[in-house]
């Protein structure tokens, strides 16, 4: 019988395993804490579990880990390339914004099927989804040395195309017996996968949703995003409105500003119009270079223009970190 990965099991599943092995119920919680709070990767480290019981577990289970392949540091940023069990490589970024905000940008897929023209990950193509354990392992590696306050699924991949694994990982990260990261400090970013948004609306956890809009005009958006299944803006807005009717949760509109591509007065007017249909705030993202085809727009000027159109609009500018080590938004990549 092939051994199973304990890291992929939630607390309910661990309770079932303990019941099958005639272990007391409270030991399921102890095992969960060892893996998800203390980041242990060996069953031998379960010191509150009897040796005979550990040996029982070892016959059927193991705990997976991912290996750091390359580490790069910059001011307030740490980027690590991890090698997975099959040799494929992903990148994860830790950002220290000071005070109590320590954010980890994690990947959900190897590569990405969306194919955004301005994104380094999109140029890789799609390799495969990450497992629950591979998603969690990114977090636990950094959590050994850093107090993580925020998790953003904005690394490699489209999270809503790996919905089940992303949700399972997010719930484990939120569990009070694990890292206990507040659900509202876990952000799932999507290009606008309608089916995923509908499923996300059914989740009870107060996880946050961000929509990467890119352009307020469909014809421009289609040129910038290669995904064949890309829904129209109106279809996405309708799905997001339905999501908000069910959840009462505010969303973020993420907008990467590209000079002479999506920064015109018409773009500003249309972006404001879209935002008025949703309970949202707009987060302007400075473009981080991934090649010679695009130049970043003036985010400060763009923000001022939006405020002139609608003084009540909620718009912020994302602080970009790690550009010098290709760790900023849109720059994560791997050749494996």
Contact 127, 334 (CB under 8 A): no
Q: Which residues are catalytic?
A: 91, 329
Q: Which helix H or strand E contains 59, and what residues bound it? A: helix 51-60
Domains of the chain, first to last: 4-62 (1.10.150.530), 67-325 (3.20.20.70)
Structure confidence at residue 328 (pLDDT): 59
CA–CA dist 107, 36 (Å, integer): 18
- Give the residue from 239, 268, 288, 300 showing the smallest Cα distance to 105: 288
CA angle 314, 219, 239 (to 5 degrees): 55
CA 46/CA 42 separation, integer angstroms: 8
d(CA 80, CA 104): 11
How confident is the prediction along the chain (336 residues), in pLDDT tens digits per residue?
A: 699 999 999 999 999 999 999 998 889 999 999 999 999 999 999 999 999 999 999 999 999 999 999 999 988 899 999 999 999 999 999 999 888 899 999 999 999 999 988 888 888 889 999 999 999 999 999 999 999 999 999 999 999 999 999 999 999 999 999 999 999 999 999 999 999 999 999 998 899 999 999 999 999 999 999 898 899 999 999 999 999 999 999 999 999 999 999 999 999 999 999 999 999 999 999 988 877 789 999 999 999 999 999 999 999 998 877 676 776 577 777 765
Distance (Å, rounded) from C-alpha 275 to C-alpha 316? 13
Distance of alpha carbon 298 from alpha carbon 313, whole angstroms:
18
Please state the pTM of the whole predicted model. Answer: 0.95
């Amino acid at each position: 019988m092939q051994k199973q990965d304990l890291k992929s099991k939630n607390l309910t599943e661990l309770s079932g395993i303990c019941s099958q092995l005639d272990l007391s119920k409270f030991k399921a919680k102890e095992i969960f804490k060892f893996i998800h709070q203390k980041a242990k990767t060996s069953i031998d480290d379960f010191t509150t579990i009897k040796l005979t019981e550990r040996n029982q577990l070892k016959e059927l289970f193991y705990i997976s880990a991912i290996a750091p392949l390359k580490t790069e540091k910059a001011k307030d940023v740490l980027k690590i390339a991890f090698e997975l069990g099959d040799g494929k490589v992903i990148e994860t970024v830790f950002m220290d914004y000071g005070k109590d905000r320590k954010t980890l940008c994690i990947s959900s897929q190897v590569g990405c099927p969306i194919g955004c023209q301005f994104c380094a990950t999109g140029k890789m193509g799609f390799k495969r989804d990450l497992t629950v354990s591979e998603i969690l392992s990114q977090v636990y590696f950094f959590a050994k040395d850093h107090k993580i306050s925020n998790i953003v699924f904005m690394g490699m991949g489209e999270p809503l195309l790996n919905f089940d694994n992303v949700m399972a990982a997010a719930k484990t990260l939120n569990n009070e017996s694990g890292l206990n990261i507040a659900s509202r400090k876990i952000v799932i970013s999507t290009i606008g996968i309608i089916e995923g948004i509908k499923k996300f609306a059914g989740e009870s956890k107060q996880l946050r949703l961000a929509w990467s809009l890119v352009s307020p005009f469909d014809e421009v958006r289609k040129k910038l995003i290669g995904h064949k299944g890309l829904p129209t803006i109106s279809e996405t807005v309708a799905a997001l409105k339905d999501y908000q009717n069910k959840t009462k949760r505010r969303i973020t509109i993420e907008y990467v500003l590209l000079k002479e591509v999506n920064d015109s007065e018409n773009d500003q007017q249309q972006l404001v119009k879209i935002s008025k249909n949703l309970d949202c705030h707009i987060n302007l993202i400075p473009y981080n270079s991934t090649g010679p085809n695009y130049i970043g727009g003036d985010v400060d000027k763009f923000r001022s223009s939006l405020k002139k159109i609608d003084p009540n609009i909620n718009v912020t500018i994302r602080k970009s970190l790690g550009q010098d080590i290709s760790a900023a938004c849109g720059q994560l990549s791997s050749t494996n």
